[in-house]
Homo-oligomer: A and B are copies of this chain.
Amino acid sequence: MCAPGKRMERELADRVLDLAAQEPDIEVAFHRQCFARHGHFAGDDDTRLEALLDCANDPLTDAVWFAHGGYGTNRIAAAALARLDAVGRAKTFLGYSDAGYLLAGLYRHGIGRPVHAPMAADIRHDGGEAAIRRVFDFLRGSTDGLERSLGAQPSVAFNLMTLAMLVGTELMPDLTGHVVLVEEVSEHLYAVDRLFFHVTQNLRGIAGIRLGRVSDVPENDRPFGASEEDIARFWCERSGIPYLGFADIGHDPGNRIVPFGHRG
């Protein structure tokens, strides 16, 4: 585990390690970088980059599992992609939210196996253990934790803000023909509307959008006047993108797993 964005709390890491200790076939190790501090980040850019490469290029591990979201992966993702070796380029990478910058870049270049999945820090939520066990089961080969809507077309899943910041950048994959699942947390509905404007205008040619949970919406000085699904439908219709309904993803322990490019 490494933390390309926000620092991990040791107490949360200990709870994940306790849970892993009950699973004889799972071994979890936190890189010490997870606990580093540098302003907003879990260590400066070089520290986070080197830790990510330590984990990715280590032939003794099966997967790089991101400890926490926050913000910062976009600052090191391009450099990390350029330095993945043969081991790193065959590895599974699991996370969501801010980790989406790296998942996107991996998928763009067809390297590694990027997977939208719960992160270690999700153990802090009520029911968070279930999210952690969902990842353990996935690593064992179970498909029980996969998002149930995955169908004939390849899917990807992103935090909406992360996807909005990705479009047009060197990390953005070609999503032609893909079903794009989006979720959001802690954004006003007017900001969600604004993000949908941006994303739908920049994602021509996708197979459709599914809406995950939009949670912890801050209270505004006036009601927005439309629900998050109204917003998704409105912008999908405007841009000619099929709106396909809900997806069972979000910043919560129910967040299901979406291997990038997976067909159901």
Of residues 127 through 162 on chain A, the ones whose CB sits less than 8 Å from some CB of chain B are 161
Instruction: Please determine whether B167 and A71 come into contact, CB atoms closer than 8 angstroms.
Output: no
Residues in B whose Cβ lies below 8 Å from that of A198: 164-166, 168-169
Q: Nearest chain-B residue to A45 (Cβ)?
A: B234
> Considering the chains assembled together, what is the distance between the CA atoms of A189 and B72 in angstroms?
12
Of residues 201 through 247 on chain A, the ones whose CB sits less than 8 Å from some CB of chain B are 201-202, 220, 222-226
CB distance from A8 to the nearest CB of B (A): 14
Residues in B whose Cβ lies below 8 Å from that of A164: 164-165, 198
CB distance from A229 to the nearest CB of B (A): 15
Given contacts A71-B190, A190-B71, contact A165 B197 (CB under 8 A): yes
Of residues 47 through 96 on chain A, the ones whose CB sits less than 8 Å from some CB of chain B are 71-72, 74-75
> Considering the chains assembled together, what is the distance between the CA atoms of A74 and B75 in angstroms?
29
CB distance from A35 to the nearest CB of B (A): 14
CB-contact partner of A197 in B39, B169, B224, B225, under 8 A: B169
Instruction: Please determine whether B168 and A40 come into contact, CB atoms closer than 8 angstroms.
Output: no
Instruction: Please determine whether B194 and A74 come into contact, CB atoms closer than 8 angstroms.
Output: yes
Instruction: Please determine whether A197 and B74 come into contact, CB atoms closer than 8 angstroms.
Output: yes
| Chain copies in the assembled complex | 2
Instruction: Please determine whether A194 and B165 come into contact, CB atoms closer than 8 angstroms.
Output: yes
**A183 interface contact, C-beta 8 A:** no
CB-contact partner of A39 in B38, B168, B223, under 8 A: B223
Residues in B whose Cβ lies below 8 Å from that of A190: 40, 71-72
Given contacts A71-B194, A165-B194, contact A201 B39 (CB under 8 A): no
The proximity string for A residues 166-200 relative to B, scoring 1 for CB distances below 8 Å and 0 otherwise, is 11111000000000000000000111011101100
**A41 interface contact, C-beta 8 A:** yes
Given A164-B164, A168-B201, 9 extra CB contacts under 8 A: A38-B225, A39-B223, A40-B223, A40-B224, A71-B191, A167-B168, A168-B168, A168-B198, A169-B201
12 A-B pairs with C-beta separation under 8 A: A39-B225, A39-B226, A40-B189, A40-B222, A71-B194, A75-B193, A164-B164, A165-B194, A165-B198, A168-B168, A168-B198, A169-B202
Q: Which chain A residues have a beta carbon within 8 Å of chain B's beta carbons?
A: 38-41, 71-72, 74-75, 161, 164-170, 189-191, 193-195, 197-198, 201-202, 220, 222-226
